[in-house]
Structure 1
Amino acid sequence: MTERIDTRRVFSDPVLWLAFGFGSGLSPRAPGTAGTLVAVPLFLLLDQLSFAGYLTATVLISLAGVWICQRASQTLGVHDHPGIVWDEFAGYLVAMIMAPEGWTGILAGFVLFRFFDIWKPWPIGWVDKKVHGGLGIMLDDILAGLMVVVVLWVAKLVV
């Protein structure tokens, strides 16, 4: 079990505050799910942008996440501490690229993203084990998000 992180430490260090999803990663149970829940309002804000603007913001959040997660990991001395949930933010935003409009899409994206992020089918599981540092922390969640995009795209074709 990973040691608990002092709440004051997270809220006093801007990098940890971001990495811990504005504090959502401090949840004692299912911090990844808590982080994804906090990503929903971020999605709602970014969803107001054009499609190109949304993609640009998602790419920038993902790229920043590599640095944020790397720094947080180094600060904590733990690779991919469960409280680091910035990767869930990015992964969920990727997942929502093909989501249907409205709360049905938000819920579908949320459930499917959590499913792939927890199950970690190939290649997500491989990346999770073999790619290290900030890139590794981010990449498995981005791949989970891309799997959701594929599932929702196929569902759109079938329906």
Structure 2
Amino acid sequence: MTGRVPLDWRFLRANPAHAIALSGGLGLVPVAPGTFGALAGLAIGWGLQAVPLAAAIILLMLLGAVGVWACDVTARSAGVHDHQSIVIDETWAMAAVAALSPPGPVWLVIGFVAFRAFDIAKPWPVNWIDTHVEGGFGIMADDGAAAVLAVALIQLAARSGWVPV
């Protein structure tokens, strides 16, 4: 990637891909933009719990595909592979965690904390994907892996009775 471009409101409005990649502007929040992007995903995923699972999965796949495209376009325009303002990956991955969690606010909170912990700490395979997979797919894939780990933890906790709800 060549020169860096400042990611601001002008950049966001320059291309629909930028608006998507920055989750409508949440990526421009000066502190913890990934957390704000994940909060948007939490709301989306909670809403997806109300639709049949197959429909939720199809919608998540569509959002993921659009996110790959938007991240690729935006990273190239910005001149930075995974700029912190690109948060559609957190939005999409957290939506998946919330949609695939058992119903109830306790599970949404556990899912949010687990996803953010895996996204920030980047255990294997999240760290491997983060450093080895390029482009928009790479930007989305490491968060997808963190989401898989979070969903696995939630399902294990739900099935084992670790969390009294």
- TM superposition score category, shorter chain reference: over 0.9
Q: Does 1:130 align with 2:132?
A: yes
1:57 aligns with 2:59: yes
Which structure 2 segments of 5+ residues have no match? none
Aligned pairs for 1:10-159 within 5 A: 10-159=12-161
TM-score where L is the length of structure 2: 0.89
Distance 1:89 1:34 in 2: 8
Whole-Å separation in 2 of the counterparts to 1:70 and 1:3: 15
Q: CA deviation at 1:4?
A: 4.5
Determine which structure has the larger helix proportion and give its number: 1
Secondary structure of 2:112 counterpart:
helix
Tell me how many residue pairs correspond in the alignment. 158
Considering only aligned residues, what root-mean-square deviation do their CA atoms show, in Å? 1.5
Q: Per-residue displacement from partner, 1:33-76 (whole Å, max 9, x unpaired)?
A: 01111222222332221111111111111122111110111111
Distance 1:129 1:28, change over 3 A: same
Q: Identity over aligned residues, as a percent?
A: 36
Equivalent residues of 1:25, 1:83 under 8 A apart: yes
Amino acid aligned to 1:44: W
Shift in Å at residue 119 of structure 1? 0.4
Task: Judge which range, 12-21 or 22-31, deviates more.
Answer: 12-21
Please give the alpha-carbon distance, in whole angstroms, between the structure 1 residues aligned to 2:37 and 2:13. Answer: 15
Gaps of 5+ in 1: none
Asked if the contact 1:20–1:85 (Cα under 8 Å) also holds between the matched residues in 2, the reply is yes
